[in-house]
A and B are shown apart, each in its own frame.
Chain A
Amino acid sequence: MPEASVRAALMITCLGDMLFPDVGVAIVRLLRSLGVTVEFPPGQTCCGLPLFNSGYHAEAAGAARRLVEIFKDAPYVVVPSGSCAWMVKHEGPGLLKDTPLAGEARRLAERTYELSQFLVRVLGKTRFGSRLRGRVTYHDSCHLLRGLRESATPREILENLDGVELVELPGHDECCGFGGSFSVRLPEVSSAILEKKLTNVEATGASCVVACDAGCLMQMAGGLTRRKSQVRAVHLAELLEP
């Protein structure tokens, strides 16, 4: 057990709260088992990424301002989605740069971590018990890979899971076709991109495809169940035994 003094706040995200609450629960139990005191500051809604990406920047700045206030007192902020973490770290400071909250936004950016990065880079933990046996594959979400430049931490965790074999996904760094509002503005194109991704996933022979982003998971899970696939799309946290 690491030192019990680490205190972290969970940023659950809009999709995480409403669609994937089990992931949030798994994260809370996991972090507690590692000696982390987990807080869940009230009043959370969304990081504003959908607004930002669609060009509604004044509105996204409103969301960024709220986050700064909500997480003011948290020494660490843990986010289960690479895209939301990227929003806080990369775009929050820019959106608030000419406001009194500019310094606070930068401070929040520095304290915010995507889950796998928090586990490995802050807690120094790479070995976990596994809730699953067998072959898995990993999808690099675009914002975690190219936004936060992280490809190592999720793989380190997966490679060290007992009884789990990690196989590389062909085209692991290619988009799943989600892209937020892109998925419903151009659903045919989004789905065509998804089909290629899922064909690659199924070719690995893995029982599940792991990702660290709720958007990709929603897209891939939606496609997998629609094609009656045996493969499941799961969040990294769902595999880890607390």
Chain B
Amino acid sequence: MSEAELATPFRDRAGRALQDGFLQQALTIATTKFLELRREAFGEFPEGDALRDRARAIKEATLQRLDHYLEQLVDNVERLGGHVHFATTPDDARRIILDIAKRTGTRMAVKSKSMATEEIHLNEALEAAGVTPVETDLGEYIIQLAHERPSHIIAPAIHKTKGQVADLFARELNRPNVPADPEVLTAIARAELREKFLQADMGITGANFAVADAGTVVLVTNEGNGRMVTTLPRVHVAVMGVEKVVPSMTDLAVFLAILAKSATGQKLSVYTTLVRGPRKPEELEGPDEFHLVLLDNGRIAQLGGTLREALYCLRCGACLNVCPVYRSIGGHAYGYTYPGPIGILLTAMLNGAASVKDLAHASSLCGACADACPVRIDIPRMLIELRKEVDEKKIAPWSERVVFTLVAWLLRHPALFRLAAPLARVFQRPFARGGRIERLPLFFGEWTRTRDLPAVAARTFSERWAALEREGR
């Protein structure tokens, strides 16, 4: 989202999303489907829970020796003839990729879906350097046509209805009267993309995993476009966060067993692509050059930070689908690359705690995300830690800090706390009818605009206890 859009308070961005009828329709259908499919997939898979524990343990063990596994990965990728680059910042990563593009005379790059390249805003940088990026995942293709950004980690165009996609294709691809039929729309996109695959000089992907002891980069996809991106162009560049490394193929198997189930409810994704370096002389297909860009961008600092567990994330999107807030407002309202509960943590990791001073509160802490997470990341706990940081660093508004300090003080002084009820009874008198309050002024109106509030009782439980005590004798 642009600076100007981010200047709009989160609450207003969320409010606009709630008013968007198309968005509401698209979100409800898609997230409900995803979460039901996920539930069914794990329902038929009794080993699931044990594998989730195992996956979590592997992630933790890997992070404890991340330097070792990264070194191993680098050695093996280079042994296979690939090149490895380390990018500390998004700027480093963009520069590395643009250098490769320049040296190889790249004019068009086809891309497989990748959140890491979204994170570093690669497409804008490529365009500015005269390289045409073409998104080839159907969802990414749609939002590239619409000049938008992904609103979901695995379903980038989840915010669009099929009718909106048909209108978009009619306008952007000059296909008047195209029906709102997913099969027809997909066929059109496929035909458009086929030419691009053949023309492109460079293929750009992310990486779901990289296997350290094999030097293998793993892509989990459904549309087959990933295979063409990694085999047809002369150059393949894979961009991945440093935390995506796993020690061995045995470990990889654990993650593959739970990733697609968590994401889309599939047993496995349609394609699991394992890339080992560039084409060897005896091989028929594959690129001449293979580059792996390892991206830090705030991750390494969190190895010892409060957000460490967020480094376990597999980017499956399950936490988005079950989150009542995400399901209500969609991904764009969050304002950053990664939406939803995990997105708030990743945004804090990438941009600092101050960037999520409002987003840290964009959760009812219902815990559905932690339950759905395949590696059991305790997202609510870390949201609370972020709130704490925002408060302790005095990033939270002073008015809020004063209120909470006062409340805390009151809770420690029961004699004064007892005065709250009689005072409230005086204050509520003009507003209470039949034990309910329909309208309150000032801050309290935030509740009563949409909901009634029970009036403070004529006699509190504490005030009734003496009589109750007598009754019990």
Contact = CB atoms under 8 A, between A and B. Distances in A.
Interface of A: 12, 16-22, 24-25, 28, 32, 38, 40, 42-46, 48, 50-57, 59-60, 62-63, 66, 142-143, 146-147, 173-175, 177-194, 196, 218-219, 221-223, 225-226
15 contacts: A17-B461, A18-B456, A19-B456, A44-B462, A62-B411, A186-B14, A187-B450, A188-B14, A193-B325, A194-B451, A219-B451, A221-B452, A223-B450, A223-B451, A226-B452
B406 to A, nearest CB: 10
Given A18-B456, A24-B461, A226-B450, A189 B414 contact: no
B449 interface: yes
A17 to B, nearest CB: 5
Contact of A21 (B363, B407, B449, B461): B461
A189 B407 contact: no
Interface residues of B, number: 66
A207 B329 CA distance: 31
Contacts of A182: 361, 363-365
B472 interface: yes
Contact of A222 (B370, B384, B411, B453): B453
Interface of B: 11, 14-15, 18, 324-325, 328-329, 360-368, 370-371, 384-392, 396, 400, 404-405, 407-408, 410-412, 414, 417, 420-421, 424, 436, 438, 443, 446-447, 449-457, 459-465, 468-469, 472
Contacts of B390: 55
A173 B421 CA distance: 33
Nearest to A191: B450
A179 B364 contact: yes
A59 B405 contact: yes
Given A54-B404, A142-B365, A193 B462 contact: no
Nearest to A143: B367
A194 B454 CA distance: 16
Given A54-B387, A174-B324, A184-B446, 19 more contacts: A18-B457, A44-B462, A45-B411, A54-B400, A55-B360, A55-B384, A59-B404, A62-B408, A63-B408, A142-B367, A146-B368, A175-B364, A178-B364, A183-B447, A186-B11, A186-B325, A189-B325, A190-B364, A193-B324
A179 B404 contact: no
Contacts of A28: 468, 472
Contacts of B386: 55
A235 to B, nearest CB: 12
B324 A45 contact: no
Nearest to A60: B408
Name A's interface SS.
Answer: helix
B366 A146 contact: yes
B468 A186 contact: no
A193 B451 contact: no
A53 B362 CA distance: 12
Contacts of B404: 51, 54, 56, 59
B451 A191 contact: yes
Give the residue among A60, A184, A189 with the most B Cβ atoms within 10 A. Answer: A189
A5 to B, nearest CB: 16
A70 to B, nearest CB: 9
Contact of A44 (B361, B414, B446): B414
Nearest to A28: B468
Contacts of A43: 414
A62 B365 contact: no
A176 to B, nearest CB: 8
Nearest to B333: A189
A25 B248 CA distance: 61
Given A179-B366, A181-B361, A187 B462 contact: no
A28 B472 CA distance: 9
Contact of A62 (B324, B412, B461): B412
